[in-house]
Amino acid sequence: MLIQKSNDIKSAVITPKEFYLNRRQFMLSASAAALATGAALSGLDWTGGTPEVLAGEKLGNVKKSSFSTAEKQNSFKDITSYNNFYELGTDKEDPATNARYLTTRPWTVSVEGEVRKPKTYDIDALVKLSPLEERVYRMRCVEAWSMVIPWLGFPLSSLIKLAEPTGNAKFIQFVTLLDPKRMPGQKLPIMEWPYVEGLRMDEAMHPLTILSVGLYGEILPAQNGAPIRLVVPWKYGFKSIKSIVKIRFVEKQPPASWNRMQPQEYGFYSNVNPEVDHPRWTQATERRIGEFLRRKTLKFNGYGDQVAQLYSGMDLKKFY
Ligand SMILES: Nc1nc2c(c(=O)[nH]1)N[C@H]1C(S)=C(S)[C@@H](COP(=O)(O)O)O[C@H]1N2
Ligand SMILES: [Mo]
């Protein structure tokens, strides 16, 4: 499959060798050197873990949404066996294999910072906060592959409205669970843990931005970010942070994991943009998982009609 080879970025978003090039990572731990030799996950004990008792549970009462694409959906198998989730391993197959570690009850999400109504939500209350909708979205990973995924979720804006942001709330920071027992990948210094992400307030309020708690009519599998994850379909996949425990309203642009680690390669905005190549590969085309020929990548992942105005007047080559 020669045509695919040059653009098919294997496995991780960055490769172990590149940890060497990164000052910040280098300082994280002396074991970064061991990691770069390829020892990566072999030093970890990946036995044990608890079966995820909730996996497969159906979520009822789901509305269809006019925001959904009619494109052919990827299979449940594709969506749940080809994942990026470094807390459960760096290879695409790892998160499904290691899903049993990530138990999701009890689980709380704390909404805090620049809000009038800070609150810690129990996950089961949060799922019932707003009617669940099915949103079939195109998802485009920064590594130039894509899928069509029928998410179940609700607009992030419903939660934001309940929190009553103050005038100082200009951005929202999202934080993943920090617990190396349930997320054994966190025992490795491959990134600064926990994984964090951020959105500007208007991006967070946009009707396309959802919190997802399921897919294909079922409760979210661990490997897809159970029990609750962000989904922002016009941005590269890494903005869609998984397994969230904290949503913090802040005044200044918050750190975002990939941007912090490799700012010359991953911007804070990370809007899908075929005109701005990644320094090491093209973003002009993509491989839809399950298809042979590459597709042309669409600006804002095809959601430009809805979101382009958020960035009017901004140089998207500079703010990539
Ligand atoms: N906490 C956390 N969230 C994460 C990641 C991660 O490693 N950790 N990977 C991101 C990347 S790079 C992608 S492409 C998407 C993949 O989501 P999916 O496996 O549900 O398709 O999750 C994003 N969210
Ligand atoms: Mo990604």
- Residue ranges per domain, the chain? 6-253
Q: What is the mean pLDDT of residues 202-223?
A: 97
Strand ranges (DSSP E) for the chain? Answer: 63-64, 108-113, 119-122, 133-140, 145-155, 171-176, 196-200, 210-215, 218-219, 229-231, 244-250, 285-288, 295-296
Q: What is the mean pLDDT of residues 136-142?
A: 98
Pocket test for ligand 1, best of 238, 278, 287 (most atoms within 8 A of CB): 238
User: 262-289: per-residue pLDDT in tens?
Assistant: 999 999 999 999 999 999 999 999 999 9
Please determine, for residue 130, whether its predicted confidence score (pLDDT) is greater than 50. yes
Return d(Cα 274, Cα 305) in angstroms, integer.
Answer: 16
Please determine, for residue 48, whether its predicted confidence score (pLDDT) is greater than 80. no
Q: For the chain, how are helix, strand and coil distributed in percent, rounded to 5?
A: 30, 25, 50
Return d(Cα 160, Cα 185) in angstroms, integer.
Answer: 31
Please determine, for residue 320, whether its predicted confidence score (pLDDT) is greater than 80. yes
> Which amino acid is residue 68, in one-letter code?
S
Residues around the ion ligand 2 (C-beta < 5 A): 84, 141-142, 237-238
Pocket-forming residues, ligand 1, beta carbon under 6 Å: 13, 83-87, 141, 176, 195, 224-225, 237-238, 240-243
Instruction: Count CB-CB contacts under 10 A for residue 44.
Output: 15
Give the rounded percent of residues in the chain with a pLDDT score beyond 70.
Answer: 83
Residues in the chain: 320
**Cβ pair 179, 261 in contact under 8 A:** no
- CA 83 to ligand 1: nearest atom: 19
Give 208's contacts (C-beta < 8 A, 6+ positions apart): 67, 137, 232, 233, 234, 303, 306, 307
Q: How sure is the predictor about 50, in pLDDT bands with cuts at 50, 70 and 90?
A: low
Please determine, for residue 15, whether its predicted confidence score (pLDDT) is greater than 70. no
Average pLDDT, the chain: 88
Q: What is the mean pLDDT of residues 228-247?
A: 98
Q: What is the mean pLDDT of residues 95-116?
A: 96
Question: Which residue's alpha carbon is at the smallest distance from atom 12 of ligand 1?
Answer: 238
User: 145-201: per-residue pLDDT in tens?
Assistant: 999 999 999 999 999 999 999 999 999 999 999 999 999 999 999 999 999 999 999
pLDDT of 60 reads 80
H helices of 20-155, in order, are 23-28, 31-34, 76-81, 94-97, 123-127
Please determine, for residue 30, whether its predicted confidence score (pLDDT) is greater than 90. no
Question: Which residue's alpha carbon is at the smallest distance from atom 15 of ligand 1?
Answer: 237
Q: Pick the closest to residue 175 from 126, 247, 258 (CA basis).
A: 247
pLDDT of 13 reads 53
Q: How sure is the predictor about 51, in pLDDT bands with cuts at 50, 70 and 90?
A: low
Domain 6-253 in this protein, CATH class:
alpha beta
pLDDT of 54 reads 73
Instruction: Count CB-CB contacts under 10 A for residue 232.
Output: 26
Q: What is the mean pLDDT of residues 10-33?
A: 42
pLDDT of 36 reads 41
